C-alpha cells in the first residue's frame, strides 16, 4: 500500500520547488515522520498533490473584464441583493466572476498545521469503530485532506473531534460508517444552514466564517459536512454537478465513500454529469492533458475530480461527427443550457472529425461546441439524448406548425428545504416577451410581443425547431422548448 502513495517522487519534488520560500515548512513535515511509516506516506501524499490547491477569492467583472465592486452580504436578503445586481448589470452589462487573490497552499501552509492535521486524522481513523474498514488509500483521499474546496486554510479537525466525541453512545451500531456519517452530517447542519444570498457571494467561506454567520450556499454546507465526517474518521467526498441540465444553478453535496452504494441526487434536479472532488491529481483529467497556455472551460480544466455520473443516472457514450474547421482545437465540449447560457459539462478529445463524450445523462438537451477565445463556439446543432440513448438533432428544418403558449418557465430557489427547480410562470400583462429561435449564429429573435395576461399564439414554427420564450427585462432563467405532437416541451 505504501508504494501507491510513494510513487511519484518527481511530483513531490515539483511541489517542494513550487513552495519557494515555504519549502522548509514542507520539508519539516517530511522529516518529522520516519520514512516507511504510514504517517510519512500520508505526508508525501498531501504534499505531492498540494500543487493546485489554494484559497481563491472570487470577484465580479463586467463584459470588458473591468472589476465591479459588489458585496451581496451588505444587502438584507437574496431578493434585494439580486435586484441590486440586476441594476448594476443594466449599467455595466452582464457580470461574471473570476479569481482575484489566489493563495497557494504550498506557499503558505505551515509544518505545525500539517503535522497536527496528519496526527489528528490518524487518531480519528484508528480509534473510531466505524473506521476499521477504511483502507489506507481511502483514508489518504477521503479522511486525511485538510480542505474541502477553495476555502481559507484553518484548523477545524481538533475542535470538531472534541465537539462530536460522544456520538458512539448514540448509535445503534457503532461499527456502521453510514450511521456515523448521518449523525455527523446532522451535527454539521446545526452549525450552518442555507441562504441563497450566498449564490451571489461566490468565494468559499472558511471554518470561522461559517460558524460566525451560520449560513452559506451548498458548497459551504458541504464543506462543513466534510469537516465533521473527516473529524470522525468517516471517508467522505464532495460530489457536484457544475450545471443542472434542466434548470439554472449548480449543486454540491457530501457523500460517504462506500463501493457498494450508488449515489443519489439530494434535491430536485436533472444532472447531465456528476463529478467527485479528489485531493489527488487525476492524471486522466482534462487539466492534466492541457498544454501550457491552452485554455478550457473553468469547471473542466481542473485536475482534481473524477467522473461518477453512472453511480447516479443511466448514461450513454455519445459520438458526434463534426463538419467544421478544426483550427487548432484538440478538444470539443458538450454543453447544457443553464441560466440563459450554453455551459460546458463534458469534454472529449478529437479523433479526426469526430469526438466521443463519455457517460452522458439521458433525456437532456445538449450542444456540441469548441472553446475559443474564452467563449463557447457551437460546432453543430443541438440534440436531445433520448431516454433510450438515441440522438435527435433539433433546430433543423421541419413541418410548419402553430402553438399556443399560456406560460413560460423560470428557476425557483426555495429558502426552506432548498431546491433549484424549474417552475411554470404565467405570462405577465404589460411585460415584453421575445420568442427566439436557435440558428447556426445563435439565438435569433423572431417574434416580439407584449403580454396581456392571455395565451400567446405563435405560427410558422418548425416541428424540429428549438425555441426560447423570454421576458425582455427578466433574468433569462426560462427554459428552451421544442414542439412535439403540437405541444410545447421544455428542456
Question: Please, what sign has the CA dihedral across residues 47, 51, 52, 58?
Answer: positive
Starting at the edge strand found earlier in the chain, the sheet holding 432-439 runs: 442-450, 432-439, 467-471, 481-484, 487-490
Look at residues 29, 28, 26, 2 and name the one whose alpha carbon lies nearest to residue 15.
26
pLDDT of residue 170: 93
pLDDT of residue 299: 86
pLDDT along the chain (491 residues), means of 10: 46 95 98 97 98 94 93 95 93 90 96 98 96 95 96 97 94 95 96 94 96 95 96 95 91 81 61 95 94 91 94 94 80 96 96 93 96 92 96 91 88 50 83 95 94 91 95 90 93 95
Half-sphere exposure of 302 (CA within 13 A, CB side): 21
Return the CATH number of 312-393, one of 3.30.460, 3.30.310, 2.60.40, 1.10.10. 2.60.40
What residue ranges of the chain are covered by domains with CATH 2.60.40? 312-393, 400-490
pLDDT of residue 412: 58
Angle value at C-alpha 345, between 343 and 346, nearest 5 degrees: 135
Look at residues 138, 220, 147 and name the one whose alpha carbon lies nearest to residue 177.
138
Indicate the fold that domain 400-490 takes in CATH.
Immunoglobulin-like (2.60.40)
pLDDT of residue 264: 59
Q: For residue 403, give the C-alpha cell.
A: 402553438
Amino acid at each position: 500500500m505504501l508504494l501507491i502513495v510513494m510513487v511519484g517522487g518527481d511530483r513531490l519534488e515539483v511541489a517542494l520547488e513550487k513552495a519557494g520560500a515555504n519549502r522548509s515548512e514542507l520539508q519539516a513535515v517530511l522529516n518529522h515522520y520516519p520514512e516507511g511509516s504510514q504517517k510519512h506516506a500520508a505526508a508525501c501524499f498531501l504534499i505531492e498533490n498540494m500543487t493546485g490547491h489554494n484559497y481563491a477569492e472570487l470577484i465580479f467583472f463586467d463584459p470588458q473584464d473591468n472589476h465591479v465592486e459588489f458585496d451581496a452580504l451588505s444587502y438584507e436578503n437574496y431578493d434585494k441583493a439580486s435586484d441590486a445586481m440586476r441594476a448594476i448589470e443594466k449599467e455595466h452589462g452582464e457580470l461574471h466572476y473570476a479569481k482575484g487573490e489566489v493563495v497557494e497552499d504550498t506557499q503558505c501552509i505551515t509544518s505545525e498545521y500539517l503535522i497536527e492535521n496528519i496526527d489528528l486524522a490518524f487518531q480519528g481513523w484508528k480509534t473510531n469503530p466505524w473506521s476499521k474498514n477504511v483502507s489506507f488509500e481511502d483514508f489518504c483521499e477521503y479522511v486525511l485532506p485538510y480542505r474541502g474546496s477553495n476555502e481559507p486554510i484553518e484548523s477545524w479537525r481538533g475542535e470538531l473531534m472534541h465537539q462530536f466525541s460522544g456520538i458512539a453512545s448514540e448509535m445503534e451500531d457503532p461499527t456502521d460508517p453510514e450511521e456515523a456519517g448521518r449523525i455527523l452530517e446532522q451535527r454539521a447542519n446545526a452549525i450552518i444552514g442555507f441562504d441563497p444570498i450566498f449564490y451571489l457571494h461566490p468565494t468559499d467561506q472558511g471554518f470561522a466564517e461559517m460558524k460566525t454567520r451560520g449560513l452559506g450556499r451548498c458548497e459551504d454546507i458541504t464543506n462543513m459536512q466534510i469537516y465533521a465526517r473527516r473529524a470522525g474518521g468517516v471517508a467522505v467526498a464532495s460530489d457536484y454537478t457544475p450545471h443542472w441540465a434542466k434548470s439554472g444553478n449548480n449543486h454540491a453535496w457530501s457523500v460517504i465513500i462506500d463501493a457498494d452504494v450508488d449515489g443519489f441526487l439530494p434535491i430536485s434536479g436533472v444532472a447531465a454529469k456528476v463529478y467527485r472532488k479528489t485531493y489527488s491529481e487525476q492524471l486522466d483529467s482534462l487539466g492534466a492533458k492541457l498544454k501550457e497556455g491552452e485554455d478550457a472551460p473553468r469547471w473542466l480544466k481542473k485536475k482534481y475530480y473524477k467522473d461518477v455520473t453512472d453511480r447516479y443516472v443511466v448514461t450513454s457514450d455519445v459520438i458526434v461527427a463534426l463538419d467544421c474547421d478544426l483550427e487548432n482545437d484538440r478538444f470539443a465540449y458538450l454543453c447544457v443550457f443553464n441560466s440563459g447560457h450554453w455551459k460546458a459539462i463534458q469534454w472529449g478529445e478529437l479523433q479526426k472529425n469526430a469526438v466521443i463524450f463519455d457517460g452522458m445523462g439521458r433525456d437532456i438537451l445538449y450542444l456540441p461546441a469548441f472553446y475559443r477565445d474564452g467563449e463557447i463556439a457551437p460546432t453543430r446543432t443541438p440534440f436531445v439524448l433520448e431516454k433510450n440513448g438515441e440522438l435527435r438533432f433539433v433546430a433543423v428544418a421541419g413541418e410548419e406548425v402553430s402553438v399556443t403558449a399560456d406560460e413560460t418557465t423560470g428557476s425557483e430557489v426555495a429558502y426552506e428545504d432548498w431546491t433549484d427547480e424549474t417552475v411554470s410562470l404565467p405570462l405577465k400583462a404589460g411585460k415584453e416577451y421575445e420568442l427566439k429561435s436557435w440558428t447556426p449564429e445563435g439565438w435569433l429573435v423572431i417574434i416580439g410581443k407584449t403580454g396581456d395576461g392571455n395565451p400567446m399564439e405563435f405560427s410558422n414554427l418548425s416541428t424540429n425547431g428549438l425555441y426560447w420564450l423570454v421576458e425582455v427585462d427578466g433574468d433569462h432563467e426560462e427554459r428552451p422548448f421544442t414542439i412535439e405532437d403540437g405541444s410545447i416541451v421544455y428542456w
